[in-house]
Chain A
């Protein structure tokens, strides 16, 4: 009871010590956790906006939050890339100004285990660190959307919102996924995030069998001022699959203009298209265009006809 932080009068403390010394005393049976709430035993919580912190301390608190948020973000991406199709799709996204490398699983485990070792002084980190611990231990599989949401609550940013959209779609919540992705587009994102969000809107629409909408999304992604190769390839291949001659013709013109035949996505896309069964409309369209194509367009058409 004689805690140095206590401000109680020494006489009162002595009395409490005497009472506590009695084995029949109920004072000893008071659970410690509720007691802490009423006695000044807690360490003061910290937050980046705490006015008593120096600027350097605020940077450290914020950097710690960002570190944990990043680990959760990476956990979400590692969880999504367990699916081989998603892995190929995700690895295409190395754009000019976005660092998107996903860490190796073992590395992530080592960082996460280090991060959860010390209890946080920042109360906002309690739940995220528990979640990390759960992931690192591998006891239960945490949904990717839960990981992205926890990261987003800690440090909001468009990149995490986009991954949350992908995760929600993977978990069968396509309406929420579209809402999340469109929210990114509504708030002036960076060109890389805009491209990525539009492509994922196309991906979600395609997954929901809204093919015409998907083509619209891919076309709009191709007009973003970023590397247009991937959206144009998606635009062309989806227009062909839909059997839309006019759209495929516009996409082909752009494809011939901007896509280098050596672009790695060309090969990845043709491999994945070989697993698709083309519709009757698609077959009809493909048979008509085969003779007059550039090498990239021809490789896509051939992949669809396999």
Chain B
């Protein structure tokens, strides 16, 4: 629920495994009055922040390089068709986008909601939704910086005289 609300790309197994370890360590140092329901949610939030920071740090050390262990990034390739070598870079780029852009991508392309429903649910405009979705696609490596949907095909068509339609 919390991952969905924040629209973050994090492997679920990674979050669960890391949260179990985080809770084990924090619980060993906590006192009885620490164990309130919010404590557990706070541990999940801390682990989520740590995973985001960890990805960011690895990207900082080796920008654009594939991750050492693909296990936790494979879903980005399988679910969002990002090239396998770019999965960590794409994850970092996506997760540092403003939350509005991440939510736009999830509602429109993952949940498959109609545009008008997305606009209403997210309290945005059609133009903003379009910009946010393009930004998310760029982060995932599907568009070049500045490129908009269709411009790649249009350029190819224009450079190929055989495919150019007669006016």
Contact = CB atoms under 8 A, between A and B. Distances in A.
Nearest to A189: B96
B46 A99 contact: yes
B53 interface: yes
A60 interface: yes
Given A157-B53, A159-B53, A114 B29 contact: yes
Contacts of A156: 53, 57
Interface stretch (A64-72, A214-222, A257-265): A64-72
B42 to A, nearest CB: 7
Name, among B24, B95, B98, the residue most crowded by chain A CB atoms within 10 Å (CB to CB). B98
A107 B50 CA distance: 22
Contacts of B52: 190
Nearest to A69: B50
A246 B97 CA distance: 32
A158 B60 CA distance: 11
A99 B42 contact: yes
Interface stretch (B15-23, B107-115, B117-125, B144-152): B15-23
Interface string A30-55: 00000000000000000000000001
A120 to B, nearest CB: 12
Interface SS of chain B: helix
A64 B24 CA distance: 9
B84 interface: no
Contact of A60 (B21, B30, B42): B21
Interface in A74-124: 96-99, 107, 110-111, 114-115
A159 B50 CA distance: 10
Given A66-B50, A111-B30, A159-B53, A97 B99 contact: yes
Given A59-B17, A67-B26, 4 more contacts: A67-B22, A156-B57, A159-B53, A187-B56
Interface of A: 55-56, 59-60, 62-64, 66-67, 70, 96-99, 107, 110-111, 114-115, 155-159, 187-191, 225-226
Contacts of B60: 187
A115 B95 CA distance: 32
B25 to A, nearest CB: 5
Given A99-B49, A159-B53, A60 B96 contact: no
A115 B21 contact: no
A99 B96 CA distance: 16
23 contacts: A59-B17, A59-B21, A60-B24, A62-B18, A63-B24, A66-B22, A66-B25, A67-B26, A67-B29, A96-B99, A115-B29, A155-B50, A157-B53, A158-B53, A158-B56, A159-B49, A187-B56, A188-B93, A189-B56, A189-B96, A190-B52, A190-B56, A190-B95
